[in-house]
Chains A and B, each alone.
Chain A
């Protein structure tokens, strides 16, 4: 049982799991979005609601335009998902402790069955990466056969967001533990990173200087979004070029 004094808010630790995203090679193909939806039992919302800003994507690919025709350029595709902040602004504002910091994994957890739907976390997320279940979106039979049994299905009135595929993290850790070893770098990865045909997404331990993700993250010109807010995000972007 968790003692109340053990429940802490975000800390200033350096993080554990992290991602590096190379925008220079991201083609915007949406494979990560589809992979995420399939892995995490994400609802589709239909034409009307998706056009009204209610789509449930946990990861979205942003693109902007620079200049005007004919000198117009598409800005590098920017996949946005929960940045798993070390000091997350979503966490302290939830009155029900539904979004809390995992001390073990240094991730922002979303406890679906504790969420009562105040949506404060989503307002307070500077990255706007949280999705709310505005309705019980219909998934007619037999579509639910596809559900991933490792991921809770959410109902109306509940907030959800990218978890860094925590079910995969746990699975890998359990396996490593049963084999009496540490989890290897590259042994598993998130659904988005696994699907990405360009390998623009790299996932791994950022607290391990030897890991690929650490090495990529410290390559130089990486950017962490809205770092100036003190959120300590764990996703590093490379605009490239």
Chain B
């Protein structure tokens, strides 16, 4: 190898290497009726001691990373990233690695069951009965009384339900996920619409930038597409072939993303827009010329005093931003989840106009639209979910189908989904795991685990190329589960009439092929084929289909700086003393809590495992007389939580933070805990219990817009940490202050 080899070159090389060594098989599980066989009669594509590799798509979050799963004797052994997939280029996050603990989770729903709501046990029904029940539900109710609630991933099942809904008049399926709430996608899209005249999810080319200012965007954790953004971050920091890029994070609590920043700006929550505009004004002054209208009204001195960032610091940041050849500003996360979230998004996006980076390497783009991606597939904001829940509560829906999300856990408790569910006559869940919502359903008709399933998933953002990640079963279904698509198709046939016409397919695979066949005629594909069988085989073998060309659109930035932007501060709900920052646990996220190895992964910032904590600045803790592991009561206008304290050195003294991911009352043995009497109790707490119903202008929940109170309870609960409290904090070494 040559001396000039860079890391990027190596990545490409490694990608080719992995692709050529791991023989991706396209034919094995193509047989449609996959079933479990004893080892005596192994399928012919399985050999003793030889591994087979299948490309599929990770279903742990909605990003849609490609996976290559190693299987041996019909068992899935290990997931790796699919090096061909342009989104993740062979990489995975921790959740993608632990997906096997979902597949082989001891607490999966093994059979279709009928239950009395809230009752953990249920009666097993046959799949014939189950299909009949679904068919009856479709046929015997008016279309407007039938609702589908689905997970965040824009996948084939959503398309199938959308087809069904469109041609039969059923309510359009609604997509939601807790990550959607914490990412504030609607706000980003709305801000883009206001500034660029076109809605869409922006894409930030972190890897090509030289200076990155991130306002609350936790893009190294769960935000939008963490694997792809992490790769971008590595590109930013690469210092061999170019100058090492600088990264500044503005947020009140140091997230693990901020932990990687060169400078962390703990601004006062709610002042993000003000600070962004002030930096814009100072940078424009440095650049000379006339002051853009966008920044004209802001007073940097006021911004400094309100945000708690010194004026000199603001000037230094502005200089850094103005003088860089590749400056990039990213709005996201908690900064958008406030009452002024839309203003923050606009102000931060407008900063990019100074750097004039739109459509340029290291700049802002519109995400490449995946094949067949339309506005229809946009997931719902919490505001829309509020309306949905209201309709449920009003008894508008007779039947509710739930697939791919756990609304009782993922929606803020103040929406009271659980109570609204009581006004729905029939709730049918397709949950793979016995989650809280499945527990409150009349029927659970379990879908396969993602690794046992067919499908595809649109890649909404993160890749320069338009990507449709393909999924195929890598193992035979382990339990008596059935693909929800197959259940719906069969039920539609049973229901006959318009339902049968809407889904005229033999099975899921035929439906999939009907959906991907238009891609055969698309130009510039990664592969193409003349007939659908070959095309489908390639689709399986490579784990999807993508274009070779850049599909990102350039935002129209002509008018950005000429608009007047609001520098208003956020308003905070509640009477409390502390700003409250809920954040998504990077290792657990919304659905990881039932995977034991994810529970055992230390949190990147606190190294806590298996539980929830509240982060409090040590100075504040001392004022309140709190030590580590002291349980405190946190009260907001919407709820109360009891949670142990972690004295976190990198959080504003007026702010506290709680991770989201734990607090399950169901969802299997690893997501819950047992008390002394062996009764199932919550493991950790769910911070969404504290969230009231306050929204920003784009309809996203102002989840970071609450103020809360803290009270000591006198109880202790030992948090399991990987770190040494002695070695890291000097506690108990005789040097404690």
Q: Which chain B residues border A37 with CB–CB below 8 Å?
A: 97, 597, 600
B220 close to A29 (CB less than 8 A): yes
A215 close to B3 (CB less than 8 A): yes
Q: Which chain A residues border B100 with CB–CB below 8 Å?
A: 38, 146
A197 close to B722 (CB less than 8 A): no
Q: Which chain B residues border A200 with CB–CB below 8 Å?
A: 234
B237 close to A24 (CB less than 8 A): yes
Given contacts A34-B97, A74-B650, A197-B230, contact A27 B604 (CB under 8 A): yes
Interface flag for B41 (CB, 8 Å)? no
Tally of chain A residues near chain B (CB < 8 A)? 69
B104 close to A143 (CB less than 8 A): yes
B14 close to A189 (CB less than 8 A): yes
Given contacts A50-B600, A50-B609, contact A68 B237 (CB under 8 A): no
Interface flag for A47 (CB, 8 Å)? yes
Interface flag for B705 (CB, 8 Å)? no
Closest partner residue, chain A, to B100 (CB atom): A146
Interface flag for B565 (CB, 8 Å)? no
Given contacts A28-B259, A31-B97, A60-B722, 4 further A-B contacts (CB under 8 A): A24-B237, A27-B220, A44-B596, A74-B259
Given contacts A57-B722, A195-B80, contact A145 B104 (CB under 8 A): yes
Q: Which chain B residues border A60 with CB–CB below 8 Å?
A: 602, 722
Stretch from A2-10, A100-108, A111-119, A179-187 at the B interface: A179-187
Q: Which chain B residues border A148 with CB–CB below 8 Å?
A: 77-78
Task: Give CA–CA (A46, B104) in the complex, Å.
Answer: 18
B236-258: which residues lie under 8 A (CB-CB) from chain A? 237-240, 244, 254, 256-257
B13 close to A186 (CB less than 8 A): yes
Q: Which chain B residues border A51 with CB–CB below 8 Å?
A: 609-610, 718-721
Interface flag for A85 (CB, 8 Å)? no
B718 close to A142 (CB less than 8 A): no
B600 close to A55 (CB less than 8 A): yes
Stretch from B88-96, B534-542, B632-640 at the A interface: B88-96
Interface flag for B231 (CB, 8 Å)? yes
Q: Which chain B residues border A211 with CB–CB below 8 Å?
A: 1
Task: Give CA–CA (A39, B69) in the complex, Å.
Answer: 12
Q: Which chain A residues border B226 with CB–CB below 8 Å?
A: 29, 197
| Interface membership of chain B positions 705-735, coded 1 if the CB is closer than 8 angstroms to chain A and 0 otherwise | 0000000000000111111000011000000
A143 close to B106 (CB less than 8 A): yes
Interface flag for B233 (CB, 8 Å)? yes
Task: Give CA–CA (A77, B97) in the complex, Å.
Answer: 20
Task: Give CA–CA (A73, B720) in the complex, Å.
Answer: 23
A31 close to B7 (CB less than 8 A): no
8 CB-based A-B contacts, threshold 8 Å:
A27-B257, A31-B97, A35-B94, A38-B79, A51-B721, A69-B650, A72-B649, A149-B77
Which residue from A25, A48, A146, A212 sits with its C-beta under 8 Å from B101?
A146
The 6 closest A-B pairs by CB, nearest first: A51-B720, A74-B259, A47-B610, A34-B97, A197-B230, A28-B604
| Interface membership of chain B positions 582-609, coded 1 if the CB is closer than 8 angstroms to chain A and 0 otherwise | 0000110000000011111110110101
Rounded to whole Å, the gap between the CB of A217 and the closest CB of chain B is 13
Closest partner residue, chain B, to A75 (CB atom): B259
B728 close to A27 (CB less than 8 A): no
Tally of chain B residues near chain A (CB < 8 A)? 91
A38 close to B78 (CB less than 8 A): yes
Interface flag for B512 (CB, 8 Å)? no
Interface flag for B317 (CB, 8 Å)? no
Task: Give CA–CA (A42, B5) in the complex, Å.
Answer: 35
B720 close to A29 (CB less than 8 A): no
Closest partner residue, chain A, to B3 (CB atom): A215
Task: Give CA–CA (A68, B622) in the complex, Å.
Answer: 15
Task: Give CA–CA (A29, B230) in the complex, Å.
Answer: 9
Rounded to whole Å, the gap between the CB of B287 and the closest CB of chain A is 28
A111-149: which residues lie under 8 A (CB-CB) from chain B? 140-149
Interface flag for A191 (CB, 8 Å)? yes
Interface flag for A166 (CB, 8 Å)? no
| Interface membership of chain B positions 433-475, coded 1 if the CB is closer than 8 angstroms to chain A and 0 otherwise | 0000000000000000000000000000000000000000000
Q: Which chain B residues border A144 with CB–CB below 8 Å?
A: 104
B414-443: which residues lie under 8 A (CB-CB) from chain A? none
| Interface membership of chain A positions 173-216, coded 1 if the CB is closer than 8 angstroms to chain B and 0 otherwise | 00100000000111111010011111110100000001110010
Q: Which chain A residues border B73 with CB–CB below 8 Å?
A: 149
A33-86: which residues lie under 8 A (CB-CB) from chain B? 33-35, 37-39, 44-48, 50-52, 55, 57, 60-65, 68-70, 72-74, 77
Task: Give CA–CA (A64, B611) in the complex, Å.
Answer: 21
A210 close to B722 (CB less than 8 A): no
| Interface membership of chain A positions 90-106, coded 1 if the CB is closer than 8 angstroms to chain B and 0 otherwise | 00000000000000000
Q: Which chain A residues border B18 with CB–CB below 8 Å?
A: 194
Q: Which chain B residues border A146 with CB–CB below 8 Å?
A: 75-77, 100-101, 103-104
Closest partner residue, chain A, to B219 (CB atom): A27
Q: Which chain B residues border A55 with CB–CB below 8 Å?
A: 600, 609, 722
Interface flag for B221 (CB, 8 Å)? yes
B239 close to A240 (CB less than 8 A): yes
Q: Which chain A residues border B609 with CB–CB below 8 Å?
A: 47, 50-51, 55
Task: Give CA–CA (A175, B51) in the complex, Å.
Answer: 13
A212 close to B611 (CB less than 8 A): no
Q: Which chain A residues border B75 with CB–CB below 8 Å?
A: 145-146
Closest partner residue, chain B, to A57 (CB atom): B722
A30 close to B587 (CB less than 8 A): yes
B77-136: which residues lie under 8 A (CB-CB) from chain A? 77-81, 88, 90-98, 100-101, 103-106
Closest partner residue, chain B, to A76 (CB atom): B260
Q: Which chain A residues border B586 with CB–CB below 8 Å?
A: 29-30
Name, among A27, A28, A140, the residue most crowded by chain B CB atoms within 10 Å (CB to CB).
A27
Task: Give CA–CA (A210, B419) in the complex, Å.
Answer: 65
Rounded to whole Å, the gap between the CB of B722 and the closest CB of chain A is 6
Q: Which chain A residues border B728 with CB–CB below 8 Å?
A: 64-65
Which residue from B101, B220, B254 sits with its C-beta under 8 Å from A74?
B254
Task: Give CA–CA (A189, B471) in the complex, Å.
Answer: 25
B601 close to A33 (CB less than 8 A): yes
Rounded to whole Å, the gap between the CB of A62 and the closest CB of chain B is 8
Task: Give CA–CA (A27, B13) in the complex, Å.
Answer: 23
Given contacts A35-B97, A197-B230, contact A29 B221 (CB under 8 A): yes
Task: Give CA–CA (A191, B100) in the complex, Å.
Answer: 15
